[in-house]
Amino acid sequence: MKNNIRKTKSLYISILFFFLSILFISFGFFYDYYYSEKNLLSVLNLTDDTEITDVDNDEGKSSNNSKIINPGEITDNSTLRDNIQKRYGINIKYGDELSNYTVGGLSVNTLSDDTSINTALRDLNYNLSLYPGGFFEEFSKKGLSLTVNLIKSFSTDNITGITDSTNKDVIISIACDYSFAESINHEIYHYIDKYISLNNGSYGNWNIYNPVDFTYGTRIENYAYTRTKSSDSYFVNMYAEENEYEDRASTFEYMMGNDNPPFFKLGSPINNKADKISMMIKNYFVTASNDDSLYWNRYIKH
């Protein structure tokens, strides 16, 4: 009888030990799983929203404090346009919004397909990003605003861009059938020139960089780099010989280009013009005043 009781107690103890072991193992597995997952989340620093925002002006970025998605990550044209407008403080028009638009006596052929519009918006965003943060916001100090019209072409061939600055609501129209970078940076310098003029800025005797016998409006092939390929040319192209405003805008176009032409050499007429342009921007724009590493200074020799 006693032996039977001992066997029964041993059986109960074994069963109890078995269930305790299962419970202990289960608890240990849960503990390891829970805390390993918790640590993984901590390392990844995962949050519900991932946003890219601009920092303050004192760090060289836009002073716009609204949450702006990086335009490079957006595919929807309407959203992309909205974010570029917020980022740079400008207005953008395209498509049917310009179907009845005329400028300088010319009508326009609009961008009609979403792919072309998206390409134009991305090109615009990239080129505007080459200017210092807050640069385009400075124009408002003189009451200037900027609207960029993205079109396919003008009703007359070989016109790449037009800047209408007859009043303070400046409009730049870019024909996207041509090189976008050249056109937009050329026209932006007309906008810059307008701002400098409203600040009573003066380029001094700009003609000292030209031949003594030269008069604007008389195009001479031997003076244009695009015709002679000479590093000692006076003008980047023949269109620059039209007037001093087109001369500066055309020179700036090359300053913002991807090539490094040989006329950017110490003492050359075009290098001297580029240096003067750079100095004027530095003198009249706060965002450019303390930075000699700005994009347009890459080629200039001192």
pLDDT at residue 16 in the model: 56
pLDDT at residue 123 in the model: 98
pLDDT at residue 54 in the model: 20
Q: For 6-31, how does the pLDDT look when each residue is reduced to its tens digit (9 = 90+)?
A: 445 555 555 555 555 554 444 443 33
Q: For 260-295, how does the pLDDT look when each residue is reduced to its tens digit (9 = 90+)?
A: 999 999 999 999 999 999 999 999 999 999 877 999
In angstroms, the CA 271 to CA 301 distance is 7
Residue carrying the six token digits 């993984």? 40
In angstroms, the CA 224 to CA 228 distance is 6
Which backbone phi and psi does 145 adopt, to 5 degrees? -125, 160
In the predicted structure, residue 32 carries a pLDDT above the cut 60: no
Q: Where are the alpha helices (DSSP H) in the chain?
A: 2-44, 77-88, 114-128, 180-198, 225-228, 244-255, 269-284
Which region among 38-42, 49-53, 276-280, 283-287 has the lowest average model confidence (pLDDT)? 49-53
In the predicted structure, residue 97 carries a pLDDT above the cut 50: yes
In the predicted structure, residue 62 carries a pLDDT above the cut 80: no
In the predicted structure, residue 67 carries a pLDDT above the cut 70: no
Stretch 140-166: mean pLDDT, rounded? 97
Q: For 160-190, how does the pLDDT look when each residue is reduced to its tens digit (9 = 90+)?
A: 999 999 999 999 999 999 999 999 999 999 9
In the predicted structure, residue 145 carries a pLDDT above the cut 90: yes
In angstroms, the CA 34 to CA 106 distance is 70
Cβ-based neighbours of 115, under 8 Å, separated by 6 or more: none
- What is the percent of the chain with per-residue pLDDT over 90, rounded to a whole number? 74
